[in-house]
Each structure stands twice: as structure tokens, then as C-alpha cells.
A and B are shown apart, each in its own frame.
Chain A
Amino acid sequence: MENAARFSFLSLLRHGTGKVWDRQWRDAQPKASYGVVIVGAGGHGLATAYYLAKEHGIRDIAVLEKGWLGGGNTGRNTTIIRSNYLQPESADLYEHALKLWETLSQDLNYNVMYSPRGVLMLAHTHHDVQVFRRHVQANRLQGIDNEWLTPAQAKVFCPPLDISAEVRFPVLGAALQRRGGVARHDAVAWGYARAASAMGVDIIQNCAVTGFSRSAAGAVTGVETTRGPIAAGRIGVVTAGHTSVVMAMAGVRMPLESFPLQALVSEPVKPVLPCVVMSNTVHAYISQSDKGELVIGGGTDAYTSYSQAGGLHVTRATLAAVCELFPSFRRLRMLRNWGGIVDTTPDRSPIIGLTPVPGLFVNCGWGTGGFKATPGSGHVFAATIARGEPHPIAAPFSLDRFCAGRLINEEAAAAVAH
């Protein structure tokens, strides 16, 4: 760390006497030129900048953000972390991320509150049982922990769960990834920002990209922004739900559709839910934050939209499902409901890599489940930008797979059915 003081037990003691904490990262002003510009200061973009600086020695970096740091999907998701996807390519990618999560707080010297409390995925139909048991077997072959629980075992692991047979969607079993869990989403953005900023990365807020400048040969030479032009030899677009809009400025059409995905939190209560519970069939996923709020994720709207709100009937269906799974939650009041815009691909797998435009790279398509991949995504995207060729883990997730037909189908593993 060059700027921010290192967090330690001693520094906590010192600040316990009333010393005000310093700002943890620089709110930089844009320079005329950078080696690399990252568009989007969410978790994935900040992680990309961090690993570029740390592992590839590239520190002449600006991360441009049209709003505020971590104010998009990084601050809107339900913070679930797991790696129990089906296809080998996905297993490599998400497990790479999960391994980084396990040491991220130490690596960043910032507590991201990673809590591997277990992710329980409920099966409600015969088809669910078959699919999840297949996932369990596939994961074990890939060396990823995942186990099958009977309804009684699921009840032991998660006591508030209703496993009675007469409910509308009875629990027929569950897949459990014990290493899965949650992390504090804001802390992930702040931790990466602090560590990247300390290595010289400029994080520039309220700076929206409005276009790309190109050389005669077509390569990108910089970005036009609301705060003036910024030259850059390499540009990484990491703008989640707005990727189609940004890439259209470079003349690239994307295999993406953007949907509002909603979440909500309840009033805080005493510890009641010891793990993360997900149900693809009834469209609900739920965990309890360290503040005591139940964090509930719902479904996407049926149609593409940038409204960042979503239809209330979608949330009503989610709450109905949650109340059926957990009858004791019926009396809870909900505090807030919001939407984020998620960019979904046809195969529900992300796109990480090169684009038809020289110098322009893209990392997008994380759909309804990008948070869990934040460290791995940034790590392999940084290597891709630094070397000008895909990192081996990122290679299958190329943009041109949609022409080649090498899709990576994760529709069954994605948390939200589409």
C-alpha cells in the first residue's frame, strides 16, 4: 500500500481513540492519456484494474464510472457466491473465482466479509432432482464440493425450512455446496478500489463514456467522455446491463438482452437463517445479512428494459414462494425493493475477451449471477488485456462462440430461470 494506511489490529486500536479514518481511495481527476482504460467501476471493472496493476505491472490505468463506484449491479445484487455450475468451462471459471474469494480479504487487506456458510439449492420436482443430482456428480468429477441432501438432512442444515409434503412446491431434496456463501458486496468494490488506487490506478467517477475514437485502421485510440477525451491504447468495457449501449458506440452488436432483476430486504431480525437458500423452480433465493436483514432475490421481468425497477408482480410471486418455504417469515415487513439491469446471453454464460475492434476488450453477459465471479472475472480479464490474447480460463467464453456454435449452456445452473 502506498497511500492508504494498512489495516491491522494496531491501526484499529489507534482509531479506537477517536482518530478519524482517512479516505481509502483517491477520487481522481482524468488525465489526457492512459495505457489502459476500464469502462465501469463495478466489482468486475475494479478487480480487472487491480489485477492488471498487481500481476501485470500495468499501473497507468483509469477506471471510468458514469455514476458512483459500485453503484450499479455491484451494489444491487444478493451477494451469493458458489461455483456449482455444470459445464467444465464454467467449473474452471467459477471455481477460479471461489478460490480467490477464500483469501481475498487478506490479499486486499480489506475485510470483504466472505462467509462460506453453505448454499442450499432446493429441488421441488422430479426434474429438479434429476438435474441437481447430475450437477452434484459433475461437480465432484470436477473436484468441486457439492453434495445431495434428503429433505430431512436439508431441514437439519436449515431449520426454518418447511419440508412438509402438502405444500405447493414440496422440498424433494437439495444440493449443498458448503464452500458457497456470501460476501459484503460494497466492501468488494471498496476493497478493490482502495488496493488499486494505492498502486496508482485512477478511479474517475461521474465520467460517462459517450464514444470511442478510432485510428484509420479501426483500432480504438481512446474514449470520448462527459469530462473530455481520454486517450488509451487498450480499453476494457465492463458495463454489465449497459454493455450493448457502450459497444454500439464502437459499432459492435452484442448477443445480449438486458432485463431488470429485482431484490428486496426485510427489516432486521435476530439470526434465523444460517445459510443461503435458492430455489430455481419457485424463483426465490434468500440469505440473512450480518445486519439481520433477510436479503431476497427474485426473478427478471419478461421483457428487456433499462428501468432499474421491474414489475411489482414479479416480486409478489417471489414473496409468495419465500413465505411458503419459510412460514415463519410471513410476518416480516419488507424495507426496500430495487432492480438492477442484467445482461443475459443466449447460453447464460459470460463473454470475456477480444472484440472485432483492435484494442477493445469486453467482459459482460454475467446475467443474473455475476457477483460470485468478481475476483475470477477480473483476474482472467486482466490477463487477457495485458497479453492481448484470452487467458486459458477465459478462452471458451469468447464473443465469437456465437458464430462458431460452441455455446456453454448454463441455463439450468443460472440462479434465475429465464
Chain B
Amino acid sequence: MLLIPCPWCGPRPENEFRYGGQANLTRPAASADDAARGAYLYLRDNPRGRHQERWRHRHGCGRFFNCVRDTVTDRIASTSKIGSL
């Protein structure tokens, strides 16, 4: 089980959190074509290594935050409040 440092609450066990997928996906404009819309909805980097992602402290403060984690070691490099990654 991961020990995840919530930027508001400090380190807490993984089962207090919900994984929110890749961070910093930008919603396309309303005029975007199918390819751009499909990419936004479904395409993901899914890297082996450093990954920027979102988590939510569901059973704590309830807030979303950003996290940088290595997907091979599962080590968390840093977490930060939304908008500061």
C-alpha cells in the first residue's frame, strides 16, 4: 500500500485516496474534430517511468491534487495542489 502525501493533510495510506488518471489533459475547443475529441477522452501517455497524475483524497479532505510518481518503482517524487504542477 502506498503512503501518499496529501498536500493538505500530509502522508496517508493509499486506501483513503482515489486515483484520478493522467494530469493536465486539456479539454479541446467546442469546435474540435472527432480526432481531437477522441484523443482527449481516451488517449493516454501511460509511460513506464515518471508519470504526472491526479489523485483525490476521497476519505480525507476530498480534494484533488497532482502527483509525480514513477510507474516502475511506484515511488512518489512529489505531490502538489492543483494548478501548481
Chain B residues with CB below 8 A from A257, complex form: 21, 44, 46
Residue positions of B touching A, CB distance < 8 A: 1-2, 14-15, 17-19, 21, 34-35, 37-39, 41-48, 51, 53, 69, 71-74
* Among all A-B residue pairs, the 10 with the closest Cβ atoms: A403-B38, A244-B46, A255-B42, A303-B19, A402-B42, A253-B43, A302-B19, A403-B34, A402-B38, A306-B48
In angstroms, Cα B73 to Cα A402, docked, is: 30
CA distance A254 to B53 in the complex (A): 17
Closest to A343 in B: B46
In angstroms, Cα B2 to Cα A254, docked, is 27
Contact of B72 (CB < 8 Å), options: A253, A256, A306: A306
For the A-B complex with A253-B43, A312-B1 known, give 19 more contacts whose Cβ atoms are closer than 8 Å. Answer: A242-B48, A244-B45, A245-B47, A245-B48, A248-B47, A253-B45, A254-B46, A255-B44, A305-B71, A306-B48, A306-B71, A313-B1, A313-B14, A313-B15, A403-B34, A403-B38, A403-B39, A404-B34, A404-B38
Identify which of A258, A312, A313 contacts B46 (C-beta below 8 A). Answer: A258
**In the complex the two chains form, is A253's CB within 8 Å of B44's CB?**
yes
A255-B48 contact, Cβ under 8 Å, with A305-B74, A403-B38, A404-B34:
no
Q: How far is the CA of A258 from the CA of B1 in the complex (A)?
A: 18
Contacts of B34 in A (CB 8 A): 403-405
Q: Decide if B74 touches A307 in the complex (CB within 8 Å).
A: yes
The bracket for how many chain A residues form the interface is 20 to 34
Are A256 and B47 closer than 8 Å at their CB atoms?
Answer: no
Q: Can you list 10 A-B contacts with CB-CB less than 8 angstroms, sorted by A residue number?
A: A257-B44, A305-B72, A307-B72, A311-B1, A311-B2, A312-B1, A313-B1, A346-B41, A402-B43, A403-B34
A303 touches B53 (CB 8 A): yes
List residues of A whose CB falls within 8 A of some B CB.
242, 244-245, 248, 253-258, 302-307, 311-313, 346, 402-405
CA distance A402 to B38 in the complex (A): 6
A84 to chain B, nearest CB (A): 26
A63 to B45, CA, bound (A): 26
B42 proximity list for chain A (CB < 8 A): 255, 346, 402
User: Is A254 in contact with B44, judged by CB distance below 8 angstroms?
Assistant: yes
Residues of A within 8 A of B39 (CB): 253, 403
Beyond A302-B14, A303-B53, whether A402 also contacts B41 by CB under 8 A is yes
Which residue of chain A has the shortest Cβ distance to B33 in the bound complex? A403
CB distance from B53 to the nearest CB of A (A): 7
- Closest Cβ neighbor of B18 among chain A residues: A302
B residues within 8 A CB of A253?
Answer: 39, 43-45
> Given A302-B14, A307-B73, A404-B34, does the pair A255, B43 have CB atoms closer than 8 Å?
yes
Kindly list chain A residues whose C-beta atoms are within 8 Å of the C-beta of B51: 304
Min C-beta distance of B2 to chain A, whole Å: 7
The residue on B at minimum CB distance from A402 is B42
- Closest B residue to A303 by CB, please name it: B19
* Contact, CB under 8 Å: A254 / B43: yes
Using Cβ atoms and an 8 Å threshold, which residues of chain B touch A405?
A: 34, 38
Using CB atoms, name the residue of chain A closest to B34: A403
Instruction: Tell whether, in the assembled complex, residue B41 and residue A256 are in contact, meaning their CB atoms are under 8 Å apart.
Output: no
C-alpha spacing A319/B8, complex, angstroms: 34
Chain A: which residue is nearest B4 at the CB level? A303
A254 to B: closest C-beta gap in Å: 7
Residues of B contacting A346 with CB < 8 Å?
Answer: 41-42
B residues within 8 A CB of A255?
42-44
Interface core residue of B15, B35, B37, B71 (most chain A CB under 10 Å): B71
How many whole Å from B70's CB to the nearest CB in chain A? 9
